[in-house]
């Protein structure tokens, strides 16, 4: 079963509570929250205040994708605000092991994201600690970008997980549509982030179903 995690970045920001309720009714399992600081990525979005404001209105699993420098400064606040999983970029923290321990100490699940050009070697010694790996299939910063083929990296990640005897969730983020979804699922992804392919469509239930259509 593939988990669909619509990205709030493509929702109507003037009606966020209704937008989240709409994807929950539409069959999404997770909500993906893209936090951007204008430094690690060129865009700025929102902080823990928004996570906290939405938390009482949704039962969805809150998957918080931190595209920020110095993530350790904010982990506790995001956890207290209602994140169920916090994902940090390997490129954004020097002491990745310490950052992952910080997330786990807060009692939430921990993931590591890699930009398209970052080698899987960055995961070799941290993989057994992770609940999820996020492979970016666009350069982070904006919704609606074109999918960068990532199937070989996914297959190599699967092989690495088998070699190390671990089984983290494998998430793909960026340019996921009904056309690209089957490719990444076949290559090993089991959590799909989709911004414009869900929130950009009027019928969210149909949009979510379309992402699963070739793989149920
Ligand atoms: C990009 C974000 C994504 C983005 C995906 O930096 O991490 O989560 O919202 O948007 P789409 O699905 O439109 O590529
Ligand atoms: Zn994201």
pLDDT in tens, 180-197: 999 999 999 999 999 999
Q: Band of the pLDDT at 24, cuts 50, 70, 90?
A: very high
- Give the pLDDT confidence score for residue 85 in this predicted structure: 99
DSSP string over 96-112 = HHHHHHHHHHTTSEEEE
Mean per-residue pLDDT of the chain: 97
Please give the distance, rounded to the nearest whole angstrom, from the Cα atom of residue 197 to the centre of ligand 2. Answer: 13
Pocket of ligand 1 (CB under 6 A): 7, 9-10, 32, 34, 65, 138, 140-145, 173-176, 193-197
What mean pLDDT do residues 49-54 have?
98
pLDDT band at 20 (very low <50, low <70, confident <90, very high): very high
Q: Do 180 and 190 touch, CB atoms closer than 8 A?
A: no
The pLDDT tens digits for 128-169 are 999 999 999 999 999 999 999 999 999 999 999 999 999 999
Tally: H helices and E strands in the chain? 8, 8
pTM confidence score: 0.98
Question: If you measure from the C-alpha of residue 96 to the centroid of ligand 1, how many angstroms do you get, rounded to a whole number?
Answer: 23
Residues around the ion ligand 2 (C-beta < 5 A): 34, 65, 173
**pLDDT above 60 for 216:** no
Residue nearest to atom 4 of ligand 1 (CA): 143
CB atoms within 10 A of CB 55: 15
C-alpha dist (Å) from residue 66 to 36, 87, 159: 7, 6, 26
């Amino acid at each position: 079963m593939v988990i669909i995690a619509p990205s709030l970045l493509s929702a109507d920001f003037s009606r966020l509570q209704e937008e989240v309720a709409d994807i929950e009714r539409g069959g999404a399992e997770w909500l993906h929250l893209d936090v951007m600081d204008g430094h690690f990525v060129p865009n700025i979005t929102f902080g823990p205040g928004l996570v906290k404001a939405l938390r009482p209105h949704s039962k969805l699993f809150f998957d918080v994708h931190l595209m920020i420098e110095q993530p350790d400064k904010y982990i506790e606040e995001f956890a207290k605000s209602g994140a169920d999983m916090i994902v940090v970029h390997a490129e954004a923290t020097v002491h990745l092991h310490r950052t992952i321990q910080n997330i786990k100490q807060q009692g939430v699940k921990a993931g590591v994201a890699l930009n398209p050009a970052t080698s899987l070697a960055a995961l070799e010694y941290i993989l057994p600690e992770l609940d999820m790996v996020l492979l970016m299939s666009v350069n982070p910063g904006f919704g609606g970008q074109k999918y960068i083929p990532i199937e070989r990296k996914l297959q190599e990640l699967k092989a690495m997980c088998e070699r190390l005897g671990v089984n983290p969730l494998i998430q793909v983020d960026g340019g996921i549509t009904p056309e690209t979804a089957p490719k990444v699922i076949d290559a090993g992804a089991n959590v799909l982030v989709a911004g414009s392919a869900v929130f950009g469509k009027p019928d969210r239930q149909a949009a979510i179903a379309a992402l699963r259509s070739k793989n149920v």
